[in-house]
């Protein structure tokens, strides 16, 4: 009972931090960066941080903890697999759109792609995420996949799931930091420099810290053994007997 | 036996990647950034990335996996506790010196401290690391600490140990990215811009990717249950009986 209450406290924190991430990244780009468009100009770039934070961090993190919710333990795993895979597909679509926003912006403005360390880590993150999603679908949702393969892949799937979140946080922090140095240069371009911490810098730095906090809460939820969905079992033990295909 | 061989392969990879981090960060700053000094100029700043990568990533990561080395399992844990705490003390000293290098450089050149997101995450990382080290010494090395307190603190100590490494990687990647945008601006300051990926950018980007790889290998070693030091036990089981104080 105490474990369940602690879980829901952690899950509530995860949800609150996730909402804070979405609000802050939207507020930063809407109020300080000129809003959104898809016209090859700076307002198109602004979709990049919003889509990456919403997809690669918030949706991804919430999808990762779905199986930890005790309410889902007493029912069949199959619909929750679809929720997990569906949320991750949405996260992947947001991430790919976020990449399209920046690639198209770069191409329109003759700026090279994929030269910064942020972009190297970022593209590695999305590539790993896409591979993980495809292998996950093939392994855990296709009915024809042998159970032995599922059991073999599962530990790597769980571990890599956490690692993709870590890499997402690395990508977001380096990207927000880079963007602020780009746009808050000095009085010459009409902005207060980053080094004087204008309100925009405080908002975006706070977004970065909240992204880190969200990532740590999700990793903490994933690491807690008592919050793992119990494995199916045949003995009388409080959980209904589920078919092995569901494991 | 197979598990042991796999561990030593992972450990060898960890050592090789650690050496590569040290070589690359030293090479970057010695060959492309003008070398080292402690005179308040740019050459003093160059100590910052070197000391942070060596301390907060390489020494820290190697200290974290000490208990996983099977060779250490059949002997008393006490000397390995001292190795663990000693390596981490060295890592902490390197990190604090790395902070001194940048704070002193900023103060000499009238640059504000702690305004960037990189610096916010970085100072949080070193602060957490210092607190973790102090609590670790008080809990696991002071003989007067009750065993119940050790048992209570240990899971949090192990979890936070991994998290500090994650935050170290976040700090390093955002810092390397920021530095390259600072120094590889355009032809006006005599450098090839970052966007054209000059050799310095390739070296420092590669350093970033190797730091990420090192961090992932350490996290993988820490997460593998079969590589954990067996708990002391009284039954005949191949391990000598150790006193509870050693656990």
> By the 8 A CB rule, do B219 and B166 touch?
yes
Distances (CA, A) of B44 to B50, B100, B177, B181: 11, 10, 19, 19
Q: Which two tokens stand for residue A159?
A: 């571990």
Q: What domains can be seen in chain A, in order of their start residue?
A: 2-229 (1.20.120.1770)
Give mean pLDDT, residues A121-134. 98
Give mean pLDDT, residues A180-196. 86
Whether residue A178 and residue B181 make contact (CB cut-off 8 A), yes or no, is yes
Question: What is the per-residue DSSP string for A181-243?
Answer: HHH---GGGTS--GGG--HHHHHHHHHHHHHHHHHHHHHHHHH-GGGSPPPP-SSSSSS----
* CA A205 – CA A191 distance, rounded (Å): 17
Cβ contacts from A onto B, under 8 A: 105
Choose among B200, B186, B195: nearest CA to B34.
Answer: B200
pLDDT tens-digit series, residues A132-181: 999 999 999 999 999 999 999 999 999 999 999 999 999 999 999 999 99
Give mean pLDDT, residues B127-155. 97
Measured distance between the N- and C-terminal CA atoms of chain B, rounded to whole angstroms = 24
Q: How confident is the model at residue B3 (pLDDT cuts 50, 70, 90)?
A: confident
Whether residue B118 and residue A177 make contact (CB cut-off 8 A), yes or no, is yes
Enter the ipTM: 0.94
- Residues in A whose CB is inside 8 Å of some CB of B read 111-112, 115-118, 120-121, 124, 159, 163, 166-167, 169-170, 173-174, 176-178, 180-182, 194-197, 201, 204-205, 208-209, 212, 216, 219-220, 223
**Chain A environment of B124 (Cβ under 8 Å):** 209, 212
Question: What is the per-residue DSSP string for B85-117?
Answer: HHHHHHHHHHHHHHHHHHHHHHHHTTPPSS-SH
Give mean pLDDT, residues A67-88. 94
> By the 8 A CB rule, do B247 and B147 touch?
yes
pLDDT tens-digit series, residues A207-234: 999 999 999 999 999 999 999 999 765 4
Whether residue B112 and residue A166 make contact (CB cut-off 8 A), yes or no, is no
Q: Which two tokens stand for residue B162?
A: 């991994």
Q: Which residue of B has its CA nearest to A222?
A: B159
Whether residue B117 and residue A208 make contact (CB cut-off 8 A), yes or no, is yes
Of the candidates B170, B178, B197, the beta carbon closest to that of A170 is on B170
Of the candidates B115, B116, B173, the beta carbon closest to that of A170 is on B173
pLDDT of residue A131: 98
Say how far residue B71 (Cα) sits from the centre of its chain: 23
pLDDT of residue B231: 77
Q: How far is B35 from chain A (nearest CA, A)?
A: 22
* CA B246 – CA B192 distance, rounded (Å): 56
> Which comes out higher in pLDDT, residue B74 or B8?
B8
Name which of A186-190, A196-200, A240-244 the model is least confident about.
A240-244
Q: Which residue of A has its CA nearest to B111?
A: A195
Give mean pLDDT, residues A32-54. 97
> By the 8 A CB rule, do B18 and B61 touch?
yes
**Chain A environment of B209 (Cβ under 8 Å):** 117, 120-121, 124
Choose among B221, B227, B232, B224: nearest CA to B74.
Answer: B232
pLDDT tens-digit series, residues B184-232: 987 666 789 999 999 999 999 999 999 999 999 999 999 999 999 997 6
Whether residue A212 and residue B163 make contact (CB cut-off 8 A), yes or no, is no
Q: How confident is the model at residue A187 (pLDDT cuts 50, 70, 90)?
A: low
Judge whether residue B233 has pLDDT over 60.
Answer: no
pLDDT tens-digit series, residues B40-78: 999 999 999 999 999 999 999 999 999 999 988 989 999
Q: How confident is the model at residue A90 (pLDDT cuts 50, 70, 90)?
A: very high
């Amino acid at each position: 009972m105490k474990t369940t209450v602690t879980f829901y406290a952690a899950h509530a924190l995860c949800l609150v931090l996730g909402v804070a991430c979405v609000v802050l990244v939207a507020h930063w780009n809407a109020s300080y960066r000129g809003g959104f468009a898809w016209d090859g100009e700076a307002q198109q770039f602004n979709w990049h941080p919003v889509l990456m934070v919403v997809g690669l961090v918030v949706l991804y993190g919430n999808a990762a903890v779905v199986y930890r919710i005790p309410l889902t333990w007493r029912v069949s795993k199959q619909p929750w697999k679809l929720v997990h895979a569906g949320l991750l597909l949405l996260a992947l679509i947001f991430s790919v759109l976020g990449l399209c926003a920046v690639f198209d912006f770069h191409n329109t403005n003759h700026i090279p792609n994929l030269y910064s360390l942020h972009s190297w880590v970022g593209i590695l993150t999305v590539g790993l995420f896409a591979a993980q999603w495809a292998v996950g679908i093939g392994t855990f949702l296709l009915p024809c996949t042998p159970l032995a393969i599922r059991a073999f892949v599962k530990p790597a799937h769980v571990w890599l799931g956490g690692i993709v979140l870590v890499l997402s946080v690395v990508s977001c922090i380096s990207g927000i930091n880079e963007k602020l140095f780009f746009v808050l240069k000095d009085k010459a371009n009409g902005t207060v420099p980053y080094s004087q911490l204008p309100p925009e810098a405080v908002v975006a730095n706070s977004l970065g810290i909240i992204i880190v906090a969200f990532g740590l809460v999700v990793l903490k939820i994933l690491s807690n053994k008592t919050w793992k969905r119990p494995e199916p079992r045949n003995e009388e033990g409080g959980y209904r007997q589920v078919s092995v295909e569901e494991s």
